[in-house]
């Protein structure tokens, strides 16, 4: 059985000006390339900007509206407000690549500042959507791509008629926005009527677009999200999340099946069920079976054998790779596991916060005494 073709919709090289803005890059002279590349990298990978942004987000979680919305779950975040700024400060000094390589992505995409960063976000969405449509031999207008622009595998071009879209963590937010944009755009074109008043060229273009949309809707059979922060992102950054179409599928095409994998020990993930995110077709929320360490469960999705088998069976078809129906853990068991693990999590965070404060306390007392002495002069 041959392996499935995997197309990686990589987007995190946005600090590379040449990759993000290829058209503008081709027009720069060498001196402009050196200057703007340096400015671009400093703008997108500023440790100070990322650190203070995360501290502000932690303070936002203490707002009363968060308590009213999340109720008891709000108390699980309280220990984080003490330890996260200290841990992030330590990471900024000891592991700066973690801050610039991962956390900067979250800040830039969910809360872009200024026209430059908003443009970067638009380019990220455009590149991810373009890469997906290239697999179908289509462009953003759902028109056939020229032969030279189609996806090449070895010496020949290929076009796929079935795609399983799999994404993780922040990638689920980007994928959700891109797929939502495509579905909304498809719905708008489908509503266009072929009026006799239109020119023949325009009528042919619209007809070709509608044929491309049928191909697009028929190709995307599975949308699989893992460790998704969509619910939290929509709550904290509502303007950065698109509205999901009320009817993502059409009566004459196979419906889009959205499956969301989460874990109670993954503080990033969660069940996706709000009307704004899911419309009239909420996803199937499935709890993965591996991962017993709070926090570390966020990276267990790629190693969970049951999840991998689920994805592969839906890629090849159950007639090729049989997969038993998913049997989730009982709700009571999940609740007990989550409660017990988060109690351990709170104790560990509290101990770390106590240790950090105990170590800093003499320094704080010395600084306070120095300030008092200075004021007495």
Instruction: Encode pLDDT of 110-153 as tens digits.
Output: 988 878 788 888 988 998 999 999 999 999 999 999 998 898 88
Query: Half-sphere exposure (CA, 13 Å, Cβ side) for 201?
Result: 0
Indicate if 226 and 361 belong to the same structural domain. Answer: no
Judge whether 231 lies within some domain: yes
% of residues, the chain, pLDDT over 70: 72
Q: Kindly report the pTM of this predicted structure.
A: 0.81
Indicate if 207 and 346 belong to the same structural domain. Answer: no
Indicate if 354 and 309 belong to the same structural domain. Answer: no
The structural domain count of the chain equals: 2
Average pLDDT, rounded, for the chain = 79
Domain finish residue from 287, 308, 328 = 328
Judge whether 221 lies within some domain: yes
| pLDDT for 35 beyond 50 | yes
Indicate if 352 and 370 belong to the same structural domain. Answer: yes
Indicate if 301 and 175 belong to the same structural domain. Answer: yes
Judge whether 89 lies within some domain: no
Judge whether 277 lies within some domain: yes
Judge whether 263 lies within some domain: yes
Indicate if 373 and 269 belong to the same structural domain. Answer: no
Indicate if 183 and 323 belong to the same structural domain. Answer: yes
Residue 353 sits in which domain range? Answer: 335-377
The pairing of beta strand 163-168 with beta strand 220-226: parallel
Instruction: Encode pLDDT of 272-325 as tens digits.
Output: 888 888 877 788 888 887 766 766 788 888 888 778 888 887 777 766 666 666
The pairing of beta strand 152-153 with beta strand 284-287: unpaired
Roughly what angle, to the nearest 10 degrees, separates helices 73-94 and 47-60? 170
Indicate if 322 and 364 belong to the same structural domain. Answer: no
CB 288 within 8 A of CB 307: yes
What pLDDT does 356 receive?
63
| pLDDT for 52 beyond 50 | yes
Judge whether 143 lies within some domain: no
Range with the lowest mean pLDDT among 125-129, 138-142, 154-158, 238-242?
A: 154-158
| pLDDT for 77 beyond 90 | no
Indicate if 195 and 258 belong to the same structural domain. Answer: yes
Q: Transcribe 75-108 into DSSP letters.
A: HHHHHHHHHHHHHHHHHHHH-HHHIIIIIHHHHH
| pLDDT for 252 beyond 50 | no
Judge whether 136 lies within some domain: no
Which residues on adjacent β-strands are paired with residue 126?
Answer: none
Say which residue, 77 or 46, is predicted with more confidence. 46
Judge whether 59 lies within some domain: no
| 288 CA to centre of own chain | 19
b/e burial code for range 184-220 (CB count within 10 A of at least 16 → b): ebbeeeeeeeeeeeeeeeeeeebeebbebbbbbbebb
Indicate if 221 and 341 belong to the same structural domain. Answer: no
Apex 207 CA angle, 203 and 212, nearest 5: 145
Indicate if 276 and 170 belong to the same structural domain. Answer: yes
Indicate if 274 and 347 belong to the same structural domain. Answer: no
């Amino acid at each position: 059985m041959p392996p499935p073709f995997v197309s990686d919709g990589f987007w995190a090289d946005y600090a590379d000006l040449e990759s993000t803005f290829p058209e503008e890059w081709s027009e720069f002279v060498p001196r402009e390339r050196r200057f703007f590349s340096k400015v671009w990298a400093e703008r997108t990978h500023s440790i100070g900007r990322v650190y203070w942004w995360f501290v502000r987000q932690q303070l936002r979680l203490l707002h009363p509206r968060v308590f009213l919305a999340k109720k008891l779950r709000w108390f699980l975040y309280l220990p984080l407000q003490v330890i996260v700024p200290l841990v992030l400060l330590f990471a900024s000094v000891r592991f700066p690549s973690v801050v610039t390589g991962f956390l900067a992505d979250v800040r830039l995409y969910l809360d872009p500042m200024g026209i430059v960063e908003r443009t970067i976000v638009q380019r990220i969405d455009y590149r991810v959507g373009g890469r997906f449509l290239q697999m179908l031999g289509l462009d953003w207008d759902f028109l056939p791509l020229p032969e030279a622009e189609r996806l090449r595998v070895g010496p020949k071009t290929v076009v796929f008629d079935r795609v399983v879209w799999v994404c993780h963590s922040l990638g689920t937010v980007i994928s959700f926005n891109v797929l939502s944009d495509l579905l909304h755009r498809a719905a708008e074109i489908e509503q266009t009527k072929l009026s006799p008043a239109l020119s023949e060229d325009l009528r042919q273009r619209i007809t070709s677009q509608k044929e491309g949309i049928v191909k697009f809707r028929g190709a995307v059979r599975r949308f699989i999200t893992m460790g998704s922060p969509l619910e939290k992102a929509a709550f904290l950054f509502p303007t950065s999340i698109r509205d999901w179409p009320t009817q993502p599928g059409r009566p004459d095409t196979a419906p889009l099946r959205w499956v969301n994998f989460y874990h109670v020990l993954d503080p990033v993930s969660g069940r996706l069920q709000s009307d704004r995110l899911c419309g009239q077709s909420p996803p199937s929320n499935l709890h993965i079976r591996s991962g017993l360490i709070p926090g570390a469960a966020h990276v267990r999705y790629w190693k969970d054998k049951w999840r991998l088998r689920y994805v592969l069976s839906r890629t090849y078809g159950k007639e090729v790779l049989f997969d038993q129906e998913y049997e989730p853990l009982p709700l009571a068991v999940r609740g007990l596991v989550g409660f017990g693990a988060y109690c351990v999590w709170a104790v560990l965070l509290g101990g770390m916060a106590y240790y950090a404060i105990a170590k800093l306390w003499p320094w704080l007392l010395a600084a306070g005494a120095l300030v008092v002495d200075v004021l007495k002069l």
